[in-house]
Structure 1
Amino acid sequence: MPNLVKDWTARASHQVQKKIGYRFLRTKRFGIDWLDDAARIAREGWHPSFTKLEVVFDVGANIGQTASKLAQRISPKSIYSFEPVQSTFAQLEANTKTLSSVHCLNYGLSDINANSSIHIYESSVYASTCDRTPVMSPENETFLRTETIKLKTLDKVRSELGVEKIDLLKIDTEGADLRTIRGARESLQSKAIGLIVFEFYRPSDLSGTNGTLFPVDETLVSHGYRLVAFYTDHVHPDRSTGIYNALYTPEPE
């Protein structure tokens, strides 16, 4: 009987893929959906201090895409969504106003506590405090303007908000993810942060560290974190960049 079920499942999977282009995947495989994997790691208790995803920092919240997904799929007690660009922040507030767990904050998280400049492009998702990244710069035809924004370190914000620990830290700051990580040094060292997911464009870049994986990996490993999986959102066919995410968790105690 088990073999019959296995054969039927294989045939059904083949038909689905043939007709509509989808195929079944084993749900235990890591690297398909970072939120599924984060919830699984918490549920399985990989680290005793982070067994539930109750407090989330959504850094680079844009117009609330991730906040809405988090609220719908894992229902955290608190989602702190950080968006420094005023016009984008207004959309974030409007899109999450019915989500009681979402707290919108109109500043970014970096490695300084000061005002800074951010480059704005036609698509708000590309706004970045970096002068240039492997995928975007002010020379790009979609560049609109530069604005002044407020930045704070994660360590300072966690103290201001009275947040004891962050179960999930999501960072999407268009090339400046390393700066956000550097601004969380005390929180990382004390293991006040559980799971971390961040975006990058390529493993390394001769022109600098913006939007690259290796410098972030080196920093997180130095604080006792380890890689779990990679997630590919997009790969450019004609240049050596893509849009990827990486999920890290504290080393087992």
Structure 2
Amino acid sequence: MKKFIRQLIEKAGYTVFKTAYAPKQMDVILDIRRLVPLSSVQVIFDVGANVGETVCWLRGAFPHAHIVAFEPVKATFNELERRVGHLPNVTLLNVALGEQPKVEVMHLQRYSGHNSLNPALNQPSPTGQSEEVQVETAQNIAKKLALPRIDFFKIDTQNYEIPVLAGAVDYLPTTTFIYAEMGFEKAGEATNFFALHEFLSRHGFAFFGLYELSHHEDGRLYYANALFINPARLRAPVRGAATA
């Protein structure tokens, strides 16, 4: 019967794997689960939370974690708050993260997911709208919330990932995972993969794999989500949960 069902599924154009034998780089949560107990991921920073899709995804994957979500644009933050503000153990902050505290003018793009503090991208748009946003550092926020560490960074900030992580260097030695959108052009809307790889290598991280790959029509890799791991943390004992 199992063989018959498998054949039907395959004829319909699907491939079925047992979870234990699924290929790596197919599902990032499955790969993380292969590396550590999911319960050991207790503090997550969702940087560039937009309207909350990734907050919901992370809440489902890590039900015991404290998720701190960052969205600097007021209108987008209001929608984020409406959609996920009721979820348990989720802290929403109307700030951006960067290398140092400051106030920046952000030019608002037509699609909220394209807003960025990267100077090359933070240019006046056809909307003609802009607003001042507060920038804080990840390590200052973690200290204010009395968080002993940040286990997992999810970052989607349109080519502003390195400044975000530069503002978290005090916490990187105890961070286990960094998951960020990467580009493979020298200059583009996403942080260059090789530049981030070099930065994180200096802080003890190793590249694990790529997910949700997107290619140009001519076959060149355009962008993907990249998972970096801290081998030292994978060998560390699991400690008590952090709460705030």
The TM-score with structure 2 as length reference comes to: 0.83
Cα distance, 1:242 vs structure 2: 2.8
What is the rounded CA distance, in whole Å, between the counterparts of 2:197 and 2:67 in structure 1? Answer: 25
* Structure 1 segment 116-135 matched on structure 2, within 5 A: 116-132=104-120
* Structure 1 segment 1-253 matched on structure 2, within 5 A: 8=3, 12-19=5-12, 21-25=13-17, 27=19, 28-43=22-37, 52-132=40-120, 138=123, 145-188=129-172, 191-202=173-184, 204-205=185-186, 207=187, 211-237=191-217, 242-252=222-232, 253=235
Cα distance, 1:13 vs structure 2: 4.0
Cα distance, 1:56 vs structure 2: 0.8
The question of whether the paired residues in 2 share the 8 Å contact of 1:39 and 1:74 is answered with no
What is the rounded CA distance, in whole Å, between the counterparts of 2:128 and 2:61 in structure 1? Answer: 35
| CA offsets 1:156-213 (integer angstroms, 9 cap, x no match) | 211121110112111111111111111112212xx221211111121x40x4896211
Task: Give the secondary structure class of the aligned counterpart of 2:36.
Answer: helix
Aligned residue identity for 1:16: I
Task: Give the secondary structure class of the aligned counterpart of 1:166.
Answer: coil
Evaluate the alpha carbon distance shift between residue 91 and residue 238 of structure 1 in structure 2; reply closer, same or farther with a 3 A threshold: farther
Task: Give the secondary structure class of the aligned counterpart of 1:147.
Answer: strand
What is the rounded CA distance, in whole Å, between the counterparts of 1:129 and 1:13 in structure 2? Answer: 49
Q: Which residue in 2 is equivalent to 1:47?
A: none
What is the rounded CA distance, in whole Å, between the counterparts of 2:86 and 2:107 in structure 1? Answer: 30
What is the rounded CA distance, in whole Å, between the counterparts of 2:33 and 2:165 in structure 1? Answer: 22
Gaps of 5+ in 2: 236-244
The question of whether the paired residues in 2 share the 8 Å contact of 1:181 and 1:216 is answered with no
Evaluate the alpha carbon distance shift between residue 105 and residue 239 of structure 1 in structure 2; reply closer, same or farther with a 3 A threshold: farther
What is the rounded CA distance, in whole Å, between the counterparts of 2:16 and 2:165 in structure 1? Answer: 36
Q: How many residues are aligned here?
A: 231
Aligned residue identity for 1:182: A
Gaps of 5+ in 1: 45-50
What is the rounded CA distance, in whole Å, between the counterparts of 1:77 and 1:34 in structure 2? Answer: 17
Task: Give the secondary structure class of the aligned counterpart of 2:206.
Answer: strand
Task: Give the secondary structure class of the aligned counterpart of 2:72.
Answer: coil
Aligned residue identity for 1:33: D
The question of whether the paired residues in 1 share the 8 Å contact of 2:108 and 2:124 is answered with no
Cα distance, 1:239 vs structure 2: 8.9
Aligned residues with identical type, % of pairs: 26
Evaluate the alpha carbon distance shift between residue 131 and residue 239 of structure 1 in structure 2; reply closer, same or farther with a 3 A threshold: farther
What is the rounded CA distance, in whole Å, between the counterparts of 2:41 and 2:221 in structure 1? Answer: 31
What is the rounded CA distance, in whole Å, between the counterparts of 2:190 and 2:213 in structure 1? Answer: 18
Aligned residue identity for 1:175: N
Aligned residue identity for 1:199: E
What is the rounded CA distance, in whole Å, between the counterparts of 1:14 and 1:24 in structure 2? Answer: 10
The question of whether the paired residues in 1 share the 8 Å contact of 2:139 and 2:168 is answered with yes
| CA offsets 1:77-126 (integer angstroms, 9 cap, x no match) | 31100110100000111111220211100001111210113232222111
The question of whether the paired residues in 2 share the 8 Å contact of 1:118 and 1:130 is answered with no
Aligned residue identity for 1:145: Q
The TM-score with structure 1 as length reference comes to: 0.81
Cα RMSD of the aligned pairs, angstroms, is 2.7
Cα distance, 1:16 vs structure 2: 1.8
